[in-house]
Each structure stands twice: as C-alpha cells, then as structure tokens.
Structure 1
Amino acid sequence: MSIQQESRVIAMAGIHNFRDYGGYAARGGRLRAGRLWRSGQHSEATPEDLDKVHALRIATVIDLRGDSERAGNRCLRHPEFDGEVLFHPGETASAAGRAVHEEMVRDVRTADDARQAMLNLYETLPFRPVLVGTYRLYMQALAERESPSLLHCLAGKDRTGVAAALVHHLLGVHQDDIVADYLLTNTAGNAEARIEAGARHVREGFGISMDDAAVRVLMGVEAPFLERAFATVRERHGSVEAYARDVLGVTPQVLAAMEANLVE
C-alpha cells in the first residue's frame, strides 16, 4: 500500500505544507518513500524545524521562487546542511517580489474571480522561462542523484504542485493519486495558519476589498487548476511526454535514469 495521506505530512512550526510525495504506485513498481519531498519556503523555519529537515538527509533543494523572492525571504538552513540549492536565475512571477498566485489577483474581488485568475495562471506555469529553467534542473537532479531532494516555492502549492504532478505523471502514477497528492495542500499541516499568513500578504499588496472566500481560493488548490495546466501542455505539445522531452529535456534516457533512482 502507498503511504497514508496523513502520514506523508511532517508537522512544522514555521514551514508550511512539508510532505513526502513518494510512495505511490508507479510504472514498474512504487515510488520510493523518503526521496521526494515538497514544501513551502523555509524563511520562518524554527531550529526544531531545521532539525527535522536535516534528519531527512536531503542533499538537493530545488527553489522555484524568483530572485527577488529569495532576496526578500531568505530560506534558513540547518547549520550542518552541506547540500546544493538549485534554481534558474530570474523572476518566475511578472511582478518582482511576488509569488505567482499573487500576481493574478489585482482585480480579484470574489471567489469566482479568484478561480478564473488561478485558471489563467495555470495556463502559463509550464511555459514561464525561468520556471522552466528550474524544472529542467529538477528533472536532471532526479535522474543524476539518488539522495533525497526537496522541492519548494513560497506556499508549496502552485509552482511546486505542477512540478510534483509532472514527476508523478512521467513516472506512471495514476491520475487519481496525482490529484489526491495535489489536493493534500488544502489540509497538510496547519493549513489555516498558512491561509492566514498568505491572506495578510495578499491584502497588504492588493488592498482589503477582496472577499474572504476569494482569499481562501487563492491560498488553496482545486483540481481544475492542475487540469488546466496539463490541458494547455497537451494543446501545445500533443502530450505531457512530448512537452517533458522538448521543453524540460526529459529524454527517454533521462526518464529511465529517473525511474532507476525513484521506483522500486
């Protein structure tokens, strides 16, 4: 059996949405547990949080944020962390210092507005040049490195969610499991604290006229968001596999190496 959803999550005081997205049935076996980690940013991590992360022996961190996000919210690392942090330089959002879900919300007032903004956002995520650059680095790392890795952005839900879903799809995880893992963002850890923190940031940047329901949509995930990203990929490239090959550099050889490292 795969890892129970609730046992995937590691409770942290200052890191939101920290969880293992391995353990699912995949093509030829099952994804190894303890190899594929995902989360939000670590800028507010406590010493206890950093001890928990260090115990996982994570050797590669993939930071999907833009340069200004990293500068404004420096991620904390354990004193003994000696791994590598990978990212493609530049901005992944069009507004410097903003997360991608924040750049879409200037005209959002209602939950329906928020849903449309998120659908529009997800059409763009697989094709943003800087984000694509980091996705490429991630796929290469999964092919070349056997050690555990951690994938994160600001909230660990959109840029991270698409990347994790791509890895799942390429390794043959069932669509139901892909969606279930994606939706786990809505309940992982202290979701209410994450929503509250995100709401403060959104309101500071875009005013207080936004409905509470709209804020909750922006700070959560819904299956149609991910479906829109994959549908756009298929419209432009014919298949997810062709997109991964042509845009992310996941050749058959790279995919075989990923499988060797991640499937048991």
Structure 2
Amino acid sequence: MDRDRYVPFTTVFNFRDLGGYPAADGRRVRTGVLYRSDGLHRLVEADLGRFAALDVRRVVDLRRADEVANYGRIPESPGLDYHNVCLQTLAWTAAEVAPGELAGYLAQRYAEIADEAVGGAMARVLRLIAEDTAGGTVFHCMAGKDRTGVVAAVVLSLLGVDDDTIAGDYAASRFSEQRYLAWRASVAPDSPRYLPSSGDPAPAETMLTFLAGLRSRYGSIAGYVDAAGFGPADRELLRARLLAPN
C-alpha cells in the first residue's frame, strides 16, 4: 500500500485515493477521481480548504440514518452534491471477537452487507460513482473500513484490479484505525469498543474470503452486481469514468 495515497486531515484518518492501481487491459485506475474515507462529519474548519482543493464534488455517505442524525454529515458547501445511501441497516460490533477469529467474523458481516445491498443500495452507490460528473467522488462510512471496504472491493474488482491488490488496499485501513482509536480514546475515553483490543483490525484474509464468497454465491463479481441491478451498460460507464486510457 502506497502511503502517499492518504490525504491527511486533523480528525479524518482514512481518506485516500483509489487511483493508480493496475487494472484490466493494462490500464490503471484514474487518480484524483474516486476516494474512500472514514466519517467526513468530523472534518474541522481548518481542513475544509484542503478538502476543497481536492475538487471533490460528490459525497456518498453509506451510514445509517441514525448515525447521520446522531453525528451529523459533512459540512454543506456550494457545489457539493451529497447523497446518503444506507448500506447496512443493523449495527454490529466485533468487540468480543478474539483477534484470531476476526478475519472470519468480518468476512461474514461483509457478506451480509453485500447481500442486503442487492436490494437496491449497491446499485445506487455504484451509479453515483459511475456517473460522469465534474470533480471527484468520495464514499465513506464511520471508520472507512467495513461498509466502505465492501464498496471499494466491488468497484476495484469490476475495474479488473486483482484480489491481492484489493486486499492490500483494505488492509491499509489498519494504519488509520490505530490513529482513529487513539483519537477516540482521547476525546471519549468511556466510549465502548467495537473491535478487539489487540490484533490486526483489518486482516487482508478478510477481503480475500469476502470476494471468494461473493463469487461462490453469485458466480462472479459481475454476477453479483447484475443481481443488484447494475448491468453491463452500467459497468461500461464505471470503467469509462474510472480507468485511465492506455
């Protein structure tokens, strides 16, 4: 994982560019077009200039309605197109899972997220990402690892990025998770844990297992998004938007 993908902010810890990865037909994912992130509701005023300099015009917030109500959303600004698409209706926690069991536990939860999103949420998110709009797009949840990781894996796979690279991109969240948890403990020391207190919070094995499971249940990643209502013509738009020419 190239640490240069990270865009540093004061209280947003997992904002990074999905561009640059090798993809299908010898092409690469475009840089400066699609970003993944943790909770953008935490952007402080001192960081708004840096965010604006990225020319991100569309925000896709994957959180539940109660999370948006409780924590707020990214600050409004002229020209910013905001969409809230709930990708997971039921909250869960991995706090009581033993570190050695975390990869399997997370892969199961991600499978549940993906299967639930077949009902319409995944297709809506992918269309928002694929649409040829001015400026870049960022999608995010709370930690930028779980729901965001599911969407990132599906998008990168549709672009022809290999599984090991996708798993590496997912595993890079371990760096931001450590920073986020340290910050969270400093500002809210009594807040409940949602991950085991030790071990790797984003094992690459999780993503490899998740992708294998999608293919087992739907035949392929394309088969999965077909079931979700994101068909071949949609996928061509996604590739046109996100793949750099040879």
Fold equivalence (TM over 0.5): yes
Secondary structure of residue in 2 paired with 1:62? strand
- Following the alignment from structure 2 to structure 1, what is the Cα–Cα distance between the partners of residues 58 and 160? 23
Matching of residue 105 in structure 1 with residue 90 in structure 2: no
Give me the CA root mean square deviation. Answer: 2.7
Matches within 5 A, 1:1-264: 5-28=2-25, 29-77=27-75, 80-88=77-85, 92-95=88-91, 103-105=92-94, 108=96, 110-129=98-117, 133-146=120-133, 147-188=135-176, 191-197=177-183, 204-205=191-192, 212-213=197-198, 217=200, 220-247=201-228, 249-264=229-244
1:250 Cα deviation from its structure 2 partner = 2.4
Deviates further, 172-181 or 13-22: 172-181
Question: Normalized against structure 1, the TM-score is what?
Answer: 0.81
Confirm or deny: 8 A CA contact 1:104 1:118 kept in the other structure: no
- Following the alignment from structure 2 to structure 1, what is the Cα–Cα distance between the partners of residues 171 and 189? 21
Secondary structure of residue in 2 paired with 1:37? strand
Q: Deviations over 1:214-239 (max 9, x none)?
A: xx54xx21112112322221222111
Secondary structure of residue in 2 paired with 1:228? helix
- Following the alignment from structure 2 to structure 1, what is the Cα–Cα distance between the partners of residues 53 and 132? 18
Amino acid at match of 2:100: D
When residues 30 and 221 of structure 1 are mapped into structure 2, their CA distance, relative to the original with a 3 A threshold, is: same
When residues 246 and 119 of structure 1 are mapped into structure 2, their CA distance, relative to the original with a 3 A threshold, is: closer
1:202 Cα deviation from its structure 2 partner = 10
- Following the alignment from structure 1 to structure 2, what is the Cα–Cα distance between the partners of residues 225 and 110? 14
1:109 Cα deviation from its structure 2 partner = 5.6
Confirm or deny: 8 A CA contact 1:104 1:121 kept in the other structure: no
Secondary structure of residue in 2 paired with 1:34? coil
- Following the alignment from structure 2 to structure 1, what is the Cα–Cα distance between the partners of residues 119 and 149? 14
Deviates further, 61-70 or 226-235: 226-235
Amino acid at match of 1:175: D
Amino acid at match of 1:122: Y
Q: Percent of pairs identical after alignment? A: 26
Q: Which residue of structure 2 lines up, in the alignment, with residue 99 of structure 1?
A: none
When residues 56 and 81 of structure 1 are mapped into structure 2, their CA distance, relative to the original with a 3 A threshold, is: farther
- Following the alignment from structure 2 to structure 1, what is the Cα–Cα distance between the partners of residues 24 and 127? 19
1:206 Cα deviation from its structure 2 partner = 6.5
Amino acid at match of 1:54: A
When residues 92 and 171 of structure 1 are mapped into structure 2, their CA distance, relative to the original with a 3 A threshold, is: same
Confirm or deny: 8 A CA contact 1:58 1:83 kept in the other structure: yes
1:199 Cα deviation from its structure 2 partner = 6.4
Aligned pair count reads: 241
When residues 113 and 233 of structure 1 are mapped into structure 2, their CA distance, relative to the original with a 3 A threshold, is: closer
Unpaired segments of 5 or more residues in structure 2? none
Secondary structure of residue in 1 paired with 2:191? helix
Confirm or deny: 8 A CA contact 1:43 1:75 kept in the other structure: yes
1:34 Cα deviation from its structure 2 partner = 0.2
Amino acid at match of 1:86: H
